[in-house]
Amino acid sequence: MTPSPTVDRSSPAGATPEGAAAAIAIRGVEHTYAAESGTVSALSAVDLTIEAGQFVSIVGPSGCGKTTLLRAVAGLLEPSGGRIEVFGASPRLARRDRALGLVTQDPGLLPWRSVQANVQLAIDLAGSSAASPAAGAAHGWLERVGIDRYAGLYPGELSGGMKQRVALARALAVGPRLLLMDEPFGALDELSREAMRLELLALWERERMSVLFVTHSIREALLLSDRVVVMSGSPGRILEDVAVALPRPRSDALLSAPAFLEAEQHIRALLRAGA
Amino acid sequence: MQETGWLDGVPGAANAPGVTGGAGVVRAPRASLGVQLRRSLAVALPPLVALVVLVIAWEFWVRERQIAEYLVPRPSAVFEALRDDPGRFATAARESLAAALGGLLVASLGAFALAVVMAHSRLLERALYPPALMIKVTPIVAVYPLFAIWFGFGIGPKIAIAALIAFFPMLVNALIGLRAVDPAALDFMRALDASRWRVLWSLRLPSALPYVFAALRISVPLSLIGAVVAEFLSGSSGMGQLILIANGDFDTPVLFGAIVVLSTLGVILTALVAYIERRVLFWHASMTGS
């Protein structure tokens, strides 16, 4: 619990003395950026635990630090203070273990590689240490996200929704235990967005990996998540950790259920009060 | 209906360029040879016609005014000069071309290697950029005597001069290109703990290619200039020497012939770079039309 930027590396990844470690344990994390007018506090005293196999969303206004938090969990950014553990080890170790899958708003595909070769790159990057997966592995993941027919095309030939599917297949292909998603559907049109949501829902209910999902959309968060963490800006902090008591498997029929609407109202009120 | 799941109700999925809807995926067929030929003709014809008209007008003007050949030769006299001794031009062109391409190769490899180093270290970039800039602003003619002492009077100093003049555009472009990496792609690779080498090889190098080709389009004609200038200064071989000798003889048709040969070389080399660029950068926005 001591807020310290250094992380204990003595314990092997994925195992703690107490047994199964939480997927993510965030303790007293704060982060400040250097700006022209002094320093800007992006995160302040954030505590958050995500159990293995949970789907947790973070909602909040732009600039509330939710992306900063996700990047810190991915080990892409070293927070100024506090401690983050991913499966009981540092994010860096989790990364080395290939425990992380990352999907961002910008799909970040390599335009000179075909769809299949993009997924294959992820497998190659991750698989050098482990037993190399079968040659058909990349294709199998493309099938699971419904784009195997486009395996030979290049990203420049795909629509935004299809690119995002490739990004998802690429992230899943390395078999991550924790999927980090930062506004993955943020740049899509409304119809693609709805379709992707439902597909992710179905996919997660099959695979049940741990997910940290950052979004602007309250409805998206509620539909997908076990918990919705509501954040507020300047400095970024957690307002409330809302448990979503909606039955699974879920479908878009839920969007008009009274319990859903009630939860939506509650979160909207929180965000309005926090702003 | 085979389409289920992710593709249902997704606009754009079936409308992606080069993709037909339905059960299979069909790439847009490549333009047939005839169509391709017609297209390149449509590009090449107007300037060719303009050139022919210009040459004919020039021929008539010189004949009409009876202008002395040592001042402005008839195009037909230039053609005769080229026809009478093609071997002389071919040998000189080959020598100049070898020096230019040698210099281009040395400059490209050296500049790219330096750019890779500088792209990975801001300190090295700050330390090495000013000296590189100094080389760029130094008139290459001033350096030639030194190169002659170091590299002798053969092809060595010519390659060195061509390399020197072609170096800077490649350095600057490669450096920008190596840094112009899609941040989302970089994040993705870092999240998978990709090594620096892996990021360099799989992400930075391909990302830099469009910039490398932009640099080549500048460096190719520059290297040719460098080679000819070096030949002027050494007077030992190549198109530069051919021009020097023709100039001493007041042999203006040969002078013009040399210009024709050199500009043709420049056009061919530039077209070659453009051809390779189209092949290699098929994925880049600049190549996909729109």
* CA–CA dist A260, A265 (Å, integer): 9
Contacts of B184 in chain A (CB under 8 A): 104-108
Question: Mutation test of the interface with chain A: which of B3, B192, B197, B284, choosing the one with the most A Cβ atoms within 10 A?
Answer: B192
**Which of A104, A152, A160 is opposite residue B187, by nearest beta carbon?**
A104
In which band, very low, low, confident or very high, does the pLDDT at A35 lie, cut at 50, 70 and 90? confident
In which band, very low, low, confident or very high, does the pLDDT at A135 lie, cut at 50, 70 and 90? low
* Sign, CA torsion B274/B275/B280/B286: positive
Contact status, residue A205 vs residue A158, Cβ threshold 8 Å? no
8 Å CB contact of B206 and A110: yes
Distances (CA, A) of B144 to A231, B141, B187, B266: 67, 5, 47, 23
pLDDT 10s digits, A211-267: 999 999 999 999 999 999 999 988 889 999 999 989 988 988 899 999 999 999 999
Query: Two tokens at A177?
Result: 């235990």
pTM of the predicted model, to two decimals?
A: 0.81
* CA–CA dist B53, B32 (Å, integer): 32
Q: Could you give the residue ranges of the DSSP H alpha helices within A36-144?
A: 66-73, 91-96, 115-127, 137-144
Contacts of A196 in chain B (CB under 8 A): 6
8 Å CB contact of B183 and A165: no
The share of chain A scoring above pLDDT 70, in percent, equals 89
pLDDT on residue A97: 87
pLDDT 10s digits, A170-196: 999 988 999 999 999 998 999 989 999
Give all strands of the β-sheet with A81-86 in edge-to-edge order.
A38-50, A24-35, A81-86
**Which of A159, A180, A194 is opposite residue B16, by nearest beta carbon?**
A159
The most distant pair of C-alpha atoms in chain A lies apart, rounded to whole Å, by: 54
8 Å CB contact of A195 and B27: no
Contacts of A181 in chain B (CB under 8 A): none
Task: Give chain B as a 3 state SS string.
Answer: CCCCHHHCCCCCCCCCCCCCCCCCCCCCCCCCHHHHHHHHHHHHHHHHHHHHHHHHHHHHHHHHHCCCCCCCCCHHHHHHHHHHCHHHHHHHHHHHHHHHHHHHHHHHHHHHHHHHHHHHCHHHHHHHHHHHHHHHHCCHHHHHHHHHHHHCCCCHHHHHHHHHHHHHHHHHHHHHHHHCCCHHHHHHHHHCCCCHHHHHHHHHHHHHHHHHHHHHHHHHHHHHHHHHHHHHHHCCCHHHHHHHHHHHCCCHHHHHHHHHHHHHHHHHHHHHHHHHHHHHCCCCHHHCCC
Q: How many Å lie between the alpha carbon of B197 and the closest alpha carbon of chain A?
A: 12
Distances (CA, A) of B187 to A73, A75, A109, B182: 13, 10, 11, 9
8 Å CB contact of A192 and B187: no
Contacts of A96 in chain B (CB under 8 A): 193
Residue with tokens 């004949």: B63
8 Å CB contact of B187 and A125: no
Q: How many Å lie between the alpha carbon of A112 and the closest alpha carbon of chain B?
A: 5
8 Å CB contact of B16 and A153: yes
Checking phi first, is residue B66 left (phi over 0); if not, alpha (psi -120 to 50) or beta?
left
What residues are paired with A50 via a beta bridge? A24
* CA–CA dist A240, A228 (Å, integer): 8
Distances (CA, A) of B62 to B78, B247, B260, B261: 13, 20, 18, 22
Contacts of A71 in chain B (CB under 8 A): 187
Give chain B's contact residues with A (Cβ, < 8 Å): 4-13, 15-19, 24-25, 27, 182-194, 198, 202-203, 206, 282-285, 288
pLDDT on residue B34: 82
8 Å CB contact of B183 and A108: yes
Q: Could you give the residue ranges of the DSSP H alpha helices within A11-96?
A: 66-73, 91-96
The residue of chain A with its CA nearest to that of B279 is A112
Question: Mutation test of the interface with chain B: which of A96, A100, A110, choosing the one with the most B Cβ atoms within 10 A?
Answer: A110
pLDDT on residue B288: 60
Contacts of B287 in chain A (CB under 8 A): none
Q: How many Å lie between the alpha carbon of A195 and the closest alpha carbon of chain B?
A: 6
- Give, for all 290 residues of chain B, the pLDDT tens digit: 333 333 333 333 333 333 333 334 445 556 677 888 888 888 889 999 999 999 999 999 999 999 998 899 999 999 999 999 999 999 999 999 999 999 999 999 999 999 999 999 999 999 999 998 888 888 988 999 999 999 988 899 999 999 999 999 999 999 999 999 999 999 999 999 999 999 999 999 999 999 999 999 999 999 999 999 999 998 889 999 999 999 999 999 999 999 999 999 999 999 999 999 999 998 987 776 54
Amino acid identity, residue B253? P
Which ipTM value was assigned to this complex? 0.86
